[in-house]
Structure 1
Amino acid sequence: MNSLFKAITLILISALPLQYCVNTNGNRKAENLNNDSALALLEAVSDGDTNLVTEILGTDPDLEITDGYGRTPLMIATYNADNKIAEMLIAAGSNVNAQDKKLNTPFLYAGASGNLPILKMSIANGADFEIYNRYGGTALIPAAEKGHLEAVKLLTEIPDYPIDHINILGWTALLEAIILSEEGETQIAIVRTLVEAGSDVNIPDKDGITPLEHAKNRSMDKIVGILSKTAANN
């Protein structure tokens, strides 16, 4: 009988740590519900699963959780040009200025990629014009270089936008539009837009070479004409 009693006692004692572990895991799960939802949000956004994103947003997840690359759900949606999900995330309060490890933000990358819907939504939701990309540049500079005319028009129409900001390469949007691009109708229109918006045609690069001199050196005749006329008027 004593042996049976001892055996039962040992079984009960050995079960106690197990019960404790179960309770601990349950508490941890309760504490991490928001984090789990946020992790699920990252995956749903990556997969482009609009329905699942809608469902997860209803749980009030952490919108600023990041993946291994420092990307928030909104940053992932922006990279994927998933404008519908980006709209949902911005409406839910996602930060349009959160930088990833490449120093991109949804606002900056929307400008660089010419994504007008996300660019407009970012501007309407607190885009910070003093946060710069890894080259120390604004959204306008790569937009001008890469031929995103409509993005250039949109940005240059913003009052007090820093159109003459100089990046760490020593280039303004006007300089980069000339130095890193070929003369075509789109680039001509971009240069004209920048000049008409008030870009300073006399700001030189680090070597003291002005936009006009660069245009002449690259035989960009139509751009030379635009810049020469503006320089003469100044």
Structure 2
Amino acid sequence: MFRSTLFMAAIVFAGVAQAQTAPSASDIASYTGLHLAAHEGDIAETVRLLAEGADPDVRDRAQRTPAHVAAFASHGGVIAALAAGGADMNALESRAYDVLTIAAVADDPELVSLAMDLGNSPELITSVYDGTALIAAAHLGHHEVVARLVEGGAPIDHVNNLGWTALMEAVVLGDGGPDHIKTVSILVVAGADKSITDRDGITPVQHAKARGYGEIITLLE
């Protein structure tokens, strides 16, 4: 009954490390202008370049904007300067990630809140899985990020192209430990639909029982 879901989960686990691609050493070596300032966290240089007419949404070879580069380097001040200079806070790079999802995967709650404050929508469909920042954070058990995204209006029951919601990913791709327990709790309290099944018709609680995740079972029942 669970075979196809487990097979899909194995595929996702195998691809997680490659899902987001931070700038490589060769990318960084090629950077000039706003991309370089973003990587280095140089707010003053960012402001200067923008004042001189630099394009805030210029792309590198992986279609990353300076805001994406700054997000990978956790430079919130640069992102704020770029947003003030007209940067598109909902821009997607080549693998369909935005600043918010990059921050969510990095487990950076402050950057998550900042991105939303600057106009990065938590409703944006991101990643090759047609997911959301919330699904990405729930998958990884980043519960503080999950809480902030829920508060910011993220769609709780969005179903990605694997057939999974944030709640489903927290169970199927989680480890049943404290971080994922807290994640499930936040989603349940926020009103996540516990009846939404995967493509095999299996509910989150059934998956939790199959894995022996006692505390999560209690939350879901």
TM-score between both structures, scaled by the size of structure 1: 0.76
Q: 1:139 aligns with which of 133, 151, 156?
A: 133
- Greater shift, 128-137 or 64-73, is seen at 128-137
Tell me what 2:149 maps to.
155
User: Equivalences for 1:68-107 in 2 at 5 Å?
Assistant: 68-107=61-100
- The letter for the 2-side match of 1:218 is R
User: Gaps spanning 5+ residues in structure 1: where?
Assistant: 1-37, 229-234
Q: Return the alpha-carbon distance in structure 1 between the equivalents of residues 77 and 41 of structure 2.
A: 9
CA distance in 2, matches of 1:123, 1:82: 15
**2:207 & 2:81 partners in 1: Cα distance?**
44
Deviation at residue 191 of structure 1 after TM alignment: 0.4
Deviations 1:185-218 (A, max 9, x none): 1111110100000000111111111000000000
Q: Post-superposition shift, 1:126?
A: 2.5
Per-residue displacement from partner, 1:95-126 (whole Å, max 9, x unpaired)? 11101101111122222222223322222233
CA deviation profile, 1:61-81 (whole Å, cap 9, x unmatched): 110110101000001001111
Counterpart in the other structure of 1:166? 159
Q: Within the alignment, does 1:59 sit opposite 2:52 as a pair?
A: yes
Larger RCO (CA under 8 A, 6+ residues apart): 2
SS in 2 for 1:150: helix
What is the identity percentage for the equivalent residue pairs of Structure 1 and Structure 2? 36
Larger radius of gyration: 1
| 1:227 is the counterpart of 2:212 | no
Task: Report if the CA contact (8 A) 2:172-2:207 is conserved.
Answer: yes
Runs of 4+ in 1 over 6 A off after TM superposition: none
Deviation at 1:92, TM superposition (A): 2.2
Name 2:196's counterpart in structure 1: 203
Cα distance in 1 between the residues matched to 2:39 and 2:102: 17
User: Residue 83 and residue 130 in structure 1: after superposition, are their counterparts in 2 closer, same or farther (change >3 A)?
Assistant: closer
Q: Is the 8 A contact 2:80 2:118 kept in 1?
A: no
Amino acid at match of 2:208: A
Q: Which moved more, 1:118-127 or 1:137-146?
A: 118-127
